[in-house]
Amino acid sequence: MALALIETGHCNVDLEPSPIEPSWIIEGKPEARSHLLSTSACGTATTLIWSCTKGKFNWYYDLDETIMILEGSAVIESDGMPPKPYGVGDVVFFRDGAHAKWHVENYVRKVAFLRQTNPVGFGYAIRAINKLKRMSSTLGGRRSA
């Protein structure tokens, strides 16, 4: 089945339980929920909505993740990064391998863009292929709609 070239979604969706790993919880009983909005054709990138209630917990990142806070706030800290509050409109990027401590004081809701990290050499190859594609589309004119 072919994937649609354009997909749409909305941030105001019902979220399903998405429990935090129990050993990561430091304090309280944070309840996390999420909803998958999209997945790339190759399966290496996803977008989701995630929310969490009051609590403190560790989070270990095994993908690159960019977040934007939609509602509420959280204090986030990491080695070499003192605790800092983030709220509506703030954007944070966590690299694959990062560890952060989250302190959700009441509630937080975010949109998260997750991307599997590729080996450096693979990234160079992808950029070279994309450059060749751009050059060939420029030489051949614009694609018709």
Domain boundaries along the sequence of the chain: 16-139
pLDDT (0 to 100) of residue 4: 77
CA neighbor of 123 nearest in space, from 44, 48, 46, 47: 44
Which regions of the chain are under pLDDT 70?
A: 1, 119-127, 138-145
Let me know: does 60 contact 99? Beta carbons within 8 Å: yes
pLDDT (0 to 100) of residue 6: 78
Let me know: does 108 contact 71? Beta carbons within 8 Å: yes
pLDDT (0 to 100) of residue 131: 75
pLDDT (0 to 100) of residue 85: 98
Question: How far apart are alpha carbons 17 and 29 in whole angstroms?
Answer: 13
CA neighbor of 113 nearest in space, from 33, 51, 46, 49: 46
Sequence-distant (6+) residues with CB within 8 A of 46 are 36, 37, 38, 39, 40, 113, 114
Per-residue pLDDT of 87-120, as tens digits, reads: 999 999 999 999 999 999 999 999 999 998 876 6
C-alpha distances (whole Å) from 121 to each of 12, 118, 128 are: 39, 8, 11
The domain defined by 16-139 folds into Jelly Rolls (2.60.120)
Beta bridge partners of residue 57, listed in sequence order: 25, 102
